[in-house]
């Protein structure tokens, strides 16, 4: 397998056609080695347009998001070099690595101990020094380390908890995939003042659920 050709094809055939046109993002995808963050058993799928499972258990198994979804989220967040980022759902550490190239500091929360260890190893091997992975349930965020310029949920939720929005700086952005299958929206929420937020939903996708985030009530009255 020609890795560089496969990487080029991923960028040109999957990512660029999905309106990812930011040259810095496209360059970053060419230099951060996605294959190094993929489980060995799925190495051949590193550049395929699909979610990649991170462990063998099929039920509610955490996954790497499809490359085009990761790229579009990265573009929409527009992270800048002076900013502090909180990621919820580290997985393999790939998104944390991408964010670390754009931000001053990244803190990434992962609930599964095995993935915490794996992500730390992957980031160390990639030479990333400004991203910290912590074992924690991300539903409450990390208020003691906030406020944050950017918060990203690397998975889907039924709705964004207000506790996370409260941890944004004024001018800060939260990126999440919100909704219920089969209809979810990529949602960018910007804090415009202490009490006000604006929301844009520019594109549709579907992504695995983040653990422990509440679902909508199924009761009707």
Instruction: Give domain limits for the chain.
Output: 3-205
Element of type H or E holding 75: helix 67-77
Residues of the chain with pLDDT under 50: 219-221
**Dist CA 26 CA 12 (whole Å):** 9
pLDDT in tens, 38-87: 999 899 999 999 999 997 665 556 899 999 999 999 999 999 999 999 99
pLDDT in tens, 189-203: 999 999 999 999 999
The three-state secondary structure class of 9 is helix
Predicted pLDDT of residue 104: 98
Q: Which of 3.40.50.150, 3.40.50.1010, 3.40.50.880, 1.10.760.10 is the CATH number of 3-205?
A: 3.40.50.150
Tell me the residue length of the chain: 221
């Amino acid at each position: 397998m020609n890795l560089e050709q496969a990487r080029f094809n991923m960028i040109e055939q999957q990512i660029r056609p999905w309106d990812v046109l930011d040259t810095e993002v496209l360059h970053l995808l060419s230099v951060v080695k996605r294959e190094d963050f993929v489980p060995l058993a799925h190495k051949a799928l590193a550049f395929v347009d699909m979610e990649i499972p991170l462990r063998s258990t099929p039920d509610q198994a955490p996954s790497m998001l499809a490359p085009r979804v990761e790229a579009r989220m990265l573009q929409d967040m527009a992270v800048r070099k002076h900013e502090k980022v909180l990621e919820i759902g580290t997985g393999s550490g790939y998104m944390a690595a991408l964010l670390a190239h754009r931000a001053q500091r990244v803190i990434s929360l992962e609930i599964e101990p095995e993935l915490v260890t794996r992500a730390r190893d992957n980031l160390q091997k990639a030479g990333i020094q400004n991203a910290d992975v912590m074992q924690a349930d991300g539903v409450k965020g990390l208020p003691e380390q906030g406020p944050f310029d950017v918060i990203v949920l690397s998975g889907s939720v039924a709705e964004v908890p207000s506790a996370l929005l409260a941890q944004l700086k004024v001018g800060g952005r939260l990126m999440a995939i919100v909704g219920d299958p089969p209809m979810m929206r990529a949602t960018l929420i910007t804090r415009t003042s202490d009490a006000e937020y604006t929301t844009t939903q520019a594109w549709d996708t579907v992504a695995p659920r983040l653990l422990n985030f509440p679902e909508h009530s199924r009761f009707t009255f």
